[in-house]
Every structure is written in structure tokens, then in C-alpha cells.
Amino acid sequence: MEIKEGGTRPTRRAPAEYFTGIVWQDPIIESPPPARLFSSCVSFAPGARTHWHTHPYGQTLYIVSGVGRVQTEGGPIREVRAGDVVWFDAGEKHWHGAAPATGMVHVAMQEAKDGKYVDWAEPVTDAQYAAEIGG
């Protein structure tokens, strides 16, 4: 057993090469092999979002607070709120982030394949982000 005490692992600013806007990440777990789970608590300022990306075994988001937006490539933008759970299939290209005027916090959970748990792609454009909800 290993216990990571609260406050012993620093919050880090998410890298601008993969995120738009102000995003903070707090690590939850990077499990050692043979386990594959990677998880973090991610806080998005209003309007902040990930770039498009995929996960080799999919991704689960648990929305902790605020209002956010999620979208899979070719699908409508969906609004999410505290208590919602979002599942993206393995290899499904998607993005997620806060609503324009409201911050959002989620717990992100994904598994690594050969040590890699995400493949990043291009930024979500302002026009893509501003598209109509459900449209």
C-alpha cells in the first residue's frame, strides 16, 4: 500500500501546447505497471479547453463542479455539469473544457498503452468552441 498525502504533490499549469486558456492539473494517480491507470483533477478557467485528442483505451470524466463542454469529432457540443460522467471510446477524437462564462473541474481517468495515455492533435478553434450547444 502507498498513501500520497494531500498537498504533497504540486499543482501544475497545463501546457499551452495541449490546452487553450488557463488550466491547472492536480495528479491523482499514475499507477505503476502492470496497472495502467492515470488520473488527475483538472480545473478549467472559463473558456479554457483541451486540444483535440484521443486515448488508446478511452477516457472517463467525472464532472466535479461548474459547467463544461464536451465534443467528439463530427458530433454536437454537449453541455456537462457537476455529477455528470462522460465516457469517450478508445481512439475517439474529442475535446473538453469549461463553458465560456463558467469554470469547470473534472476528474479525468484513462489507461496507458505502452506507457502512453493520450495522443494530442490540433487546437480547438474559437469557431468550433463557440458552435451552438447540441447543434
Give the model confidence (pLDDT) of 23-66 as tens digits.
Answer: 999 999 999 989 999 999 999 999 999 999 999 999 999 999 99
Three-state secondary-structure class, residue 126: helix
In a domain, 46, yes or no: yes
In a domain, 30, yes or no: yes
In a domain, 125, yes or no: no
In degrees and rounded to multiples of 5, residue 122 shows phi and psi of -75, 160
- Identify whether the C-beta of residue 63 lies closer than 8 Å to the C-beta of residue 98: no
Domain with 42 in it: what CATH number? 2.60.120.10
Burial of 19 (0-12, 13-18, 19+ CB in 10 A): buried
**pLDDT of 135 strictly over 70:** no
In a domain, 31, yes or no: yes
Which domain covers residue 45, as residue numbers? 12-118
In a domain, 129, yes or no: no
Name the pTM for this structure. Answer: 0.95
| pLDDT tens string 73-94 | 999 999 999 999 999 999 999 9
> How many distinct structural domains can be found in the chain?
1
